[in-house]
């Protein structure tokens, strides 16, 4: 693959995880108002996984994998989709879609800390500033009266945080794991794995299942969009990026996801954007910027070097 083609694919992949994933909060919120959360997520990912393998067969892609690769896709499917996404859908029953996206915008902070703990990666000075801003932003977000007083909101916030840790762990794992070489096939295995974990969770929690023909039209449309774009297109893009771009850079989708989610939630679901939420968004996203920008780190380093020379 030529360098220009690779660059184009990376740009398109970033567009997918920025914009398409930003809209999935709205779509999940619409669907979860009618469907049980684990059932919703299980149907979404199992259907997407089956479609991926049908398309792979049609395109004559190699779908055979080694035992190690299969095991790794199962682990990734659990971390990303069963826990990292399925539980977010469950939490959306208790918090607004825009709020969930804002909380998840702190993911680069979690990725950075996990890379420090498990990989020994040094945290740059400006990244420390970003971490501090992230903590302040999260506090502003979750300390709002209307959020804390809402029934089940605290549990929803805690579960979303657990999902962030799971998704961040999955990002670090996938970046180094032996996985199927074809990113589309890799997506299919992860979708099926995550979907079956969610299917088990749905039965364990005693959720009541229903046929798609019994769903409302808006729920049917939301599910189709989640399967085709939110799962197949965006998740394939995500897996692709993790092999060509560092995990903390991939996590910058949280710059755009909250903005898309907030605007769509406000426009379609009449979700309230409070002044404190807006302030939290600014602080959080500024923190994410400091964590990920090399330019700021270089400036800070030059300043530190000058001080060192003078002393």
**Token pair 């000075």 is at which residue?**
125
Which pLDDT does position 203 carry in this prediction?
Answer: 96
Looking at the predicted structure, is the pLDDT value of residue 146 above 70? no
Which pLDDT does position 8 carry in this prediction?
Answer: 87
- Are residues 65 and 148 in contact, defined by beta-carbon separation less than 8 angstroms? no
Question: Which of 4-8, 9-13, 130-134 has maximum average pLDDT?
Answer: 9-13
Alpha-carbon gap, residue 65 to 56, rounded angstroms: 13
Work out whether the CA dihedral 97, 100, 104, 105 comes out positive or negative.
Answer: positive
Q: Which residue has the higher pLDDT, 4 or 137?
A: 137
Which pLDDT does position 263 carry in this prediction?
Answer: 87
Q: Residue ranges per domain, the chain?
A: 3-310
Which pLDDT does position 295 carry in this prediction?
Answer: 53
Question: Which of 1-10, 89-98, 128-137, 245-254 has maximum average pLDDT?
Answer: 89-98
Looking at the predicted structure, is the pLDDT value of residue 53 above 50? yes
Q: In the predicted model, what is the mean pLDDT of the chain? A: 86
Q: Which residue has the higher pLDDT, 139 or 264?
A: 264
Which pLDDT does position 294 carry in this prediction?
Answer: 59
Which pLDDT does position 304 carry in this prediction?
Answer: 40
- Are residues 291 and 127 in contact, defined by beta-carbon separation less than 8 angstroms? yes
| Span 158-183, pLDDT tens digits | 899 999 999 999 989 988 899 998 98
Identify the three-state secondary structure at position 217. Answer: helix
Alpha-carbon gap, residue 238 to 187, rounded angstroms: 9
What is the CA 33 to chain-centroid distance, rounded?
A: 21
- Are residues 88 and 160 in contact, defined by beta-carbon separation less than 8 angstroms? yes
Residue 276's pLDDT band (cuts 50, 70, 90): confident
Looking at the predicted structure, is the pLDDT value of residue 55 above 90? yes
- Long-range CB pairs of 269-274, under 8 A, 24+ apart, other chains included: 269/26, 269/29, 269/30, 269/96, 269/97, 271/96, 271/97, 271/98, 271/99, 272/96, 272/146, 273/98, 274/144, 274/146
Residue 231's pLDDT band (cuts 50, 70, 90): very high
218: which residues sit within 8 A by CB, 6+ positions away? 30
What mean pLDDT do residues 256-278 have?
Answer: 86
Alpha-carbon gap, residue 252 to 152, rounded angstroms: 29
Lowest mean pLDDT among 64-73, 119-128, 257-266: 119-128
Residue 66's pLDDT band (cuts 50, 70, 90): very high
- Are residues 232 and 48 in contact, defined by beta-carbon separation less than 8 angstroms? yes
């Amino acid at each position: 693959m030529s360098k220009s083609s690779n660059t184009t694919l990376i740009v398109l992949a970033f567009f997918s995880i920025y914009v398409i994933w930003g809209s999935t909060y709205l779509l999940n919120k619409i669907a979860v108002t009618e469907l049980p959360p684990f059932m919703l997520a299980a149907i979404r990912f199992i259907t997407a996984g089956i479609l991926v393998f049908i398309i792979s067969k049609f395109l004559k892609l190699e779908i055979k994998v080694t035992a190690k690769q299969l095991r790794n896709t199962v682990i990734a499917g659990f971390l990303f989709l069963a826990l990292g996404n399925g539980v977010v859908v469950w939490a959306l029953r208790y918090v607004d879609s825009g709020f969930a996206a804002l909380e998840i915008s702190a993911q680069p902070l979690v990725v950075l800390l996990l890379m420090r703990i498990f990989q020994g990666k040094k945290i740059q000075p400006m990244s420390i500033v970003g971490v501090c801003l992230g903590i302040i932003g999260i506090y502003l977000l979750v300390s709002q009266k209307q959020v804390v007083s809402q029934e089940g909101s605290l549990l929803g916030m805690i579960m979303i945080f657990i999902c962030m840790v799971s998704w961040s762990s999955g990002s670090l794992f996938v970046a180094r794991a032996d996985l199927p070489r074809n990113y589309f096939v890799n997506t299919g295995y992860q979708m099926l794995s995550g979907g079956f974990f969610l299917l088990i969770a749905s039965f364990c929690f005693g959720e009541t299942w229903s046929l798609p023909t019994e769903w409302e039209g808006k729920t049917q449309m939301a599910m189709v969009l989640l399967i085709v774009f939110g799962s197949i297109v965006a998740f394939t893009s995500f897996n692709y990026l993790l092999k060509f771009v560092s995990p903390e850079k991939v996590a910058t989708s949280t710059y755009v996801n909250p903005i898309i989610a907030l605007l769509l939630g406000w426009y379609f679901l009449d979700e309230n954007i409070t002044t404190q939420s807006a302030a939290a968004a600014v602080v959080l996203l500024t923190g994410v910027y400091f964590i990920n920008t090399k330019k700021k780190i270089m400036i800070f380093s030059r300043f530190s070097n000058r001080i060192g020379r003078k002393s």
